[in-house]
Structure 1
Amino acid sequence: MEPSARLNPPHPLSYRESLQAFLREDWGTQDWSSASVPDRRVEARIVAKESLVLAGLEVAREVFRAVDPNLEVRCLALDGEAVVRGREVLHLSGSSRAILMGERVSLNLLQRLSGTATLTRAFVDAVAGTRARILDTRKTTPGLKLLEKYAVRCGGGFNHRLTLGDGLMLKENHIAAAGGIAPAVAIAREVAPSLVRIEVEAETLEQVRECLAIDGVDVVLLDNMSNGQMAEAVGLRDQSGRRLLLEASGNMSLERARSVAETGVDFISVGALTHSAPAADLSLRMA
């Protein structure tokens, strides 16, 4: 996937306050390290130390602007772009102290978001040529949800739900509290707006059959099923004639993604995209 208009990041107003809080947390009461060096005009650059998919360049730039609005910060690549080791992605000119004070927070965010984008791209590439789309989950870092889900889009994945209000998902505890799948769906249809999809988690093929027999179910989440069970669930759906979507979830490793996609499911949700992606390796060097 190439960088495109659909990669518009969250508006700066949605995370600027958080960035300022991150900076205050990092600085504490005094940055003795930066205070110990002369403040002079310097050039600095952020460089990729490995091949990766970028996400968060605008956020990294916003961190430095929050430290010193007079810093000149130029992005030399695009979010969603695959870059090779040694590529300069961001250039800075201005106060040495300001750059030092923003370095760690900026890099922490850029490395984390680019790590998510890079892992997402690997999953997307693994299922290329199948019907399956890679989805994220709500297993995000509190305070970073919008940015982490943006990073998934940079990697070519798709967002499941940004918030609880973006969809209605009946998981095992909702079903237990309602007394079963049928009553849970009935209540959901009463309370949900007409355009909101209802997704039901199924842990067995019998529950899949139950969902297929109930009007009002739009998506079935196949939870922790084997590839054989998922293939059978796809067959049951196809035989029913229902235009019902199937989402595979649980224990989704990169090594397994292709075989899961080949069962015919519509979506594969991967919590690891946002909760376990290794940080990408980027560094800042001052001239």
Structure 2
Amino acid sequence: MADPTKMAASDVTDPTKMAASNMAAATTNMATPNMAAATTNMAASSKTAAAPTNMAATNNMAATASKMAAAKMAAATTNMAATSNMVAHTPNMASATNKMAATTNMAAPSTFMATPTNMAAPNMAAATPNMAATPETLRALLPVPQLRSLARHWLHEDCPGLDPAAMLVGLQPISARIVCKSRGLLAGLPFVDAILDELGCSAQWRLPEGSHVTPNAEVALLKGPAAHILQGERTLLDVLSRCSGTATAAMMAVEVGKALKWPGVIAGTRKTTPGFRLVEKYGLKVGGADTHRYDIGGMLMVKDTHRDAVKGGMKELVLSARRAAGFSRRLEVECGSAAQALQAAKYGADIVLLDNMEPQELHKAAAEVKAQHPWVLVEASGGITHETLPQFMGPNVDVVSMGSLTHSARPIDFTLRVVRD
């Protein structure tokens, strides 16, 4: 029988050989105490005339030998179980090694050190903007100081001096209703509240943010001094109308994606009204779309105009942009062809923007990018309207951004009606 003390050093690393050795050791250990017990019993039998004390001693020896045998059997069983576990887990260890090797193979080229944002899973962005939002969480998005500042600016723009019409109605308290005149999605309540706060008035909202409204639906009941409500009338209705229009356009685009079971993201752009961006970006959120970057610094985006303004190729431009972005900003590169997109992804872009491309060409380019760089997000943009939107939704497109959601959104019509006693 093999002597486990004479195992080769190389055998120690082989779980199957370790199992055989442990079994041999267990057999040896089990045999030894049994043989000792048998010898003791034989000796005891040959001395049957011995005193009872010797018989007791013999019994104690036999009991001790039995306990030793039991203990060694348990140890052997444990060793066998441990060895079995090692053998059973060997495939898993190999699998883990293969996964580590696969991860290493996914590393970006030597010209670019991969960052966590580059290792994001495909369609990862699709899960983020569609998180459920409530009126409370939407309102929490807005910074209070900026709300107040905007409200004051808007009111000052419309009434920078004397208001002769205010003398006609005075400051007696009145009530007025905001009534919807067309279908759409209600959005912009925090901005209206900020305007009313500046005027010393208040609103009792009949419907929450994000409600579907229809003609003749009462949206809110306003209370306050007559002159103040009427001074803010045009401003608050304009803000409510335009914000609701943006939200409605966003909702309609999002619904197109849902109908096609497209898992991507609908986003706006920075094509917003100067001085009105916060309202329009907020409207996008109410409608279920993504705001894209809020301002120019929200993400480093290399556009075609950047390429035209500097010397050098795509490699130099992207690597320089990567350094400028730092670790906390994503890098997006606008591309007009599949070749440009593949280069941008190769040298470190987190997102490639396929801009102003025909749908067929765009989907072909998107597939090529995903095949070689599956962690890179693909965005489609450029003149996309509600009518052409379905043509740009495909399995390799993660984001469709539409400037029309803000610059061409149709306002929802609201009116103010004074409540007569």
Q: TM-score, normalised by structure 1?
A: 0.93
Q: Which residue of 2 aligns with 1:98?
A: 228
Deviation beyond 3 Å, 4+ runs, structure 1: none
Corresponding residue pairs, total: 284
Gapped regions of structure 1 (runs ≥ 5): none
Question: SS of the counterpart of 2:174?
Answer: strand
Distance 2:145 2:354 in 1: 37
Which protein is bigger by CA-based radius of gyration?
2
Distance 2:244 2:229 in 1: 21
Question: SS of the counterpart of 1:165?
Answer: coil
Higher helix share: 2
The correspondence for 1:217, drawn from 325, 349, 353, is: 349
Q: Which residue of 1 aligns with 2:145?
A: 13
CA contact (8 A) 2:187 2:240 kept: yes
Report the CA distance between 1:12 and its aligned residue.
2.4
Report the CA distance between 1:263 and its aligned residue.
5.6
The correspondence for 1:197, drawn from 330, 341, 346, is: 330
Report the CA distance between 1:6 and its aligned residue.
4.2
Distance 1:257 1:54 in 2: 23
- Which amino acid in structure 1 is aligned with residue 249 of structure 2? L
Greater relative contact order (CA < 8 Å, ≥ 6 in sequence): 1
Q: Provide the alpha-carbon RMSD of the alignment.
A: 1.7
Query: Deviation per CA, 1:9-49, whole angstroms, max 9, x where unpaired?
Result: 41221121221121112113221222223432221111111
Distance 2:365 2:225 in 1: 60
Identify which range, 16-25 or 172-181, moves more after superposition: 172-181
The correspondence for 2:391, drawn from 259, 274, 277, is: 259
Correspondence 1:63 to 2:201: no
Distance 1:282 1:205 in 2: 46
Q: Which residue of 2 aligns with 1:36?
A: 168
Distance 1:144 1:225 in 2: 30
Question: SS of the counterpart of 2:388?
Answer: helix
Correspondence 1:108 to 2:241: no
Distance 1:38 1:14 in 2: 30
Correspondence 1:181 to 2:311: no
Higher strand share: 1
- Which amino acid in structure 2 is aligned with residue 77 of structure 1? L
Question: SS of the counterpart of 1:164?
Answer: coil
Report the CA distance between 1:169 and its aligned residue.
0.5
The correspondence for 1:139, drawn from 271, 281, 289, is: 271
Query: Deviation per CA, 1:118-139, whole angstroms, max 9, x where unpaired?
Result: 1111111111120221111111
Report the CA distance between 1:200 and its aligned residue.
0.6
Distance 1:6 1:264 in 2: 31
Query: Deviation per CA, 1:46-103, whole angstroms, max 9, x where unpaired?
Result: 11111111111121121122012xx232122222222222221121122111110111
Superposition map of 1:241-260 within 5 A: 241-260=373-392
Gapped regions of structure 2 (runs ≥ 5): 1-129
Query: Deviation per CA, 1:230-283, whole angstroms, max 9, x where unpaired?
Result: 110122023214311111111111011112113631111111112221211111
Identify which range, 90-99 or 257-266, moves more after superposition: 257-266
- Which amino acid in structure 2 is aligned with residue 193 of structure 1? G
Report the CA distance between 1:165 and its aligned residue.
1.9
Q: TM-score, normalised by structure 2?
A: 0.64
Distance 2:357 2:137 in 1: 33
CA contact (8 A) 1:230 1:263 kept: no
